[in-house]
Amino acid sequence: MPFKPPVECPICRETLALDRTLEDHLVGSHTQREVARRLATVRERVEGQSISD
């Protein structure tokens, strides 16, 4: 059986229980603003990288 590493929340860095999904954690533990802020930050980092990186 292949090993599936635990999922870590990108906002709070909590390691989720194996029976919990990231989506469930985000909806239940974080506000829409927190999730939106994280998404915007990641997007800005990706857009800020040059193509040669």
Residue 51 lies in a domain: no
14 in any annotated domain: yes
Is this prediction's pTM over 0.85? no
Q: What is the DSSP letter of 3?
A: -
Q: What is the pLDDT of residues 13-41, one digit of tens each?
A: 999 999 999 999 999 999 999 999 999 99
Residue 53 in any domain: the answer is no
- Does a structural domain hold residue 50? no
CA distance 16 to 9: 7
Confidence of residue 51 (pLDDT cuts 50, 70, 90): low
Residue 15 in any domain: the answer is: yes
Residue 8's domain comprises 1-45
Query: What pLDDT does 50 receive?
Result: 61
Q: Confidence class of residue 2 from pLDDT cuts 50, 70 and 90?
A: confident
pLDDT score of 52: 59
Structural domain count of the chain: 1
Calpha distance 52→36 (Å, rounded): 28
Bigger pLDDT: 43 or 53? 43
